[in-house]
Amino acid sequence: MQPISILVSGVSKSFKETHALKKINLDFSEGKMHGVIGPEGAGKTTLMRILLGLLKPQEGHIEYKEGGKIVSFEELRPHIAYMPSSQSLYPDLSIDEHLHFFKELYSLNKEDFKKIRENLLHITRLKNFVDRPAGKLSGGMYKKLGLMCALLRKPKAILLDEPTNGVDPISRREFWELLYSLLDQKILIIVTTSYMDEAERCSKVHLMEEGNVITAGSPSDLLETENVKSFDELFLKHSGESR
């Protein structure tokens, strides 16, 4: 499996009177950590659902590439993992029961599962909590379990919608460290967040507001070009210009 990239061209999506996306263009290049940053109502979740084929755009199209060659979404679907913003785990099932449940769901063989399970428990530091039910995990541990379940089938792209929302600062930092560890595997990572301070943790930032892309680029280049010290300042500078 070659590295995956995704190109969004002129995509629009409306829900009755609400224009969630307004002819946006985004380039999610392969093997990088892409941050889609913006407040609530920016269109981030709608974008993720369109990338996953859960929603259809009313205008524009999505282009998926594998190793630089255009392929259909159906070909890539088994290699794309998704972690939704809403709670999606079973509160009564333990960490280990979740992992075995997804093993069966993904039809993983016993040997592959054993290796992946051990590695994931190690990097998430959850090995000592495998018998704890998901409903009794802290917010940070719950998010780590969700990430583990998404990573079990070794995806080449992973889409995470607001993965650090409501998580304490220390757990947020640990979660980002987990994501960094995936970059060595050339995985395409797309993360949405409303925390402006997380923009600087990404390889490339796509700043959104009210269904528009305000600006995009590497964090350091954007801050230098715009002559600002933070993404809060950058967002305030451009807020309203895209409407």
**Looking at the predicted structure, is the pLDDT value of residue 239 above 80?**
no
Whole-angstrom distance, CA of residue 47 vs CA of residue 191: 11
- Residues near 13 by beta carbon (within 8 Å), at least 6 away in sequence: 19, 20, 21, 43, 46, 50, 55, 57, 58
pLDDT on residue 217? 95
pLDDT digits (tens, 9 = 90+) for 145-194: 999 999 998 899 999 999 988 888 888 888 898 898 888 888 999 999 99
Name the superfamily (CATH) of residues 4-88+156-238.
P-loop containing nucleotide triphosphate hydrolases (3.40.50.300)
Orientation angle between helical segments 95-105 and 139-151, nearest 10 degrees: 20
Whole-angstrom distance, CA of residue 186 vs CA of residue 188: 6
**Domain ranges in the chain?**
4-88+156-238
**Looking at the predicted structure, is the pLDDT value of residue 74 above 70?**
yes
pLDDT on residue 243? 52
What confidence tier does 23 reach under pLDDT thresholds 50, 70, 90?
Answer: very high
pLDDT on residue 183? 85
Within the chain, strands assigned E span 4-15, 18-28, 33-37, 59-66, 69-71, 80-83, 157-161, 188-193, 204-209, 212-217
pLDDT on residue 46? 96
Structure-block tokens of residue 67: 């190793």
pLDDT digits (tens, 9 = 90+) for 84-130: 887 779 999 999 999 999 999 889 999 999 999 999 999 888 999 99
What predicted TM-score, i.e. pTM, was given to this entire model? 0.91
The fraction of the chain above a pLDDT of 90, given in percent, is 72
**Looking at the predicted structure, is the pLDDT value of residue 13 above 80?**
yes
pLDDT on residue 174? 87
